[in-house]
Chain A
């Protein structure tokens, strides 16, 4: 669904009244319309249907991740009036779905900012969920004509992009930061905008980590196809071609780096992600080499080669999970990388050379 689509273009029943939010008439999640002095506002459903779940699943596995957005503007839930609270959200549909799902039984407005289909946290970091866009959207929707109060509820994780006092200075609206998680929004609204410590704290549960792993796994597998391609060519000349055992040890390393280490993250000793990934990569590689009976003089070259390259690969993949984590700082990541990257590079190159020498010249 494109940003600028007019609601009239594709159907005959052209809207007489100006709509505050353009949308596609086919969208099932729009259940009604409210007519305000400033135009029509769409009422959205608080139920997710099969299509929503299917789309969310596709996004998780990295299929068609680009275009999952809705039009920015004002939306409604239930039957809000002038005194109803205004929640601010983003036009990334997965986030919007997570929010509306939690609003059953409430009457409120949702002001959706144009973050180009990016979630709150990333958009706040980039500034698209920011002071300027918020001020612009407040003015564009003529929000002060629709509600009589002067209060906006923003997601707490949008705070890095928004300067609350600046918005107040420019629009008169004051900002309260709501809870971190959508599931707490109802409790927050019904307890007079009070968030508990727990609601304000970002977590990173086992489940959070687990649902994030497919994206990295799929990306790593895609890149691995290149590796398999190269090995296939090497096999044409190899004295000792690569076989199933090599495929398994390699694939296991990729899974260790992208799934096992992220999932077990807090239980692995140490702090740096690369270290954690290296440690588990080493356990996996050493275990596999031993099971394959490669700790003998005949296979020594390949054993050492794999012990150098595979834990490094796992370290690198795990280090990339810093981007998915919710607690790593820029300074920390830089410090980690300055140590890890040279070691990973050195160890990998040596390891790859040993493995290739073994295979080609055995």
Chain B
């Protein structure tokens, strides 16, 4: 069953004019947001974007912008309390909060 999160919230933006069609964004996106169509990147399903920023930092011509951040309520709360950027080491003991033990 597919997971769906809130609609129309992502800050993802693609500038098709700048795109050189290298396909890197298609390669890195963990939610398959992009497809390559006639040597240009295209956003297929915007609401699947989790704002990880992978496409942005790997696009060689800066055609993509997104406000990258962690989608983690605990991190946001810690950010509010400490005044720092919310990040993955939200909990004080430096645990690995994300589900990644089956991942490379």
Contact = CB atoms under 8 A, between A and B. Distances in A.
A161 B58 CA distance: 9
A245 to B, nearest CB: 31
Given A323-B75, A327-B5, A328-B5, A157 B104 contact: yes
Interface string B63-97: 00001111111111100000000111111011111
Given A208-B99, A324-B97, A327-B48, A125 B70 contact: yes
A155 B30 CA distance: 11
A327 B62 CA distance: 24
Nearest to B49: A329
A214 interface: no
Contacts of B27: 156, 177, 195, 200
B32 to A, nearest CB: 6
B73 A337 contact: yes
A180 B31 contact: no
Interface in A140-158: 155-158
A329 B6 CA distance: 9
Interface residues of A, number: 76
Chain A interface secondary structure, helix, strand, loop or mixed? helix
Contact of B89 (A99, A122, A179): A122
A172 interface: no
Contacts of B68: 125, 160, 330
B16 interface: no
B58 A159 contact: yes
A343 interface: no
Contacts of B31: 201-202, 327
Identify which of B67, B70, B71, B87 gathers the most chain A CB atoms within 10 Å of its CB.
B71
Given A98-B101, A157-B103, A219-B91, 18 more contacts: A65-B94, A89-B104, A92-B96, A118-B96, A119-B98, A125-B87, A160-B54, A161-B57, A182-B102, A200-B30, A201-B32, A271-B6, A271-B7, A325-B99, A327-B5, A328-B72, A332-B6, A336-B6
- 3 tightest A-B CB contacts, nearest first: A330-B69, A323-B72, A155-B104
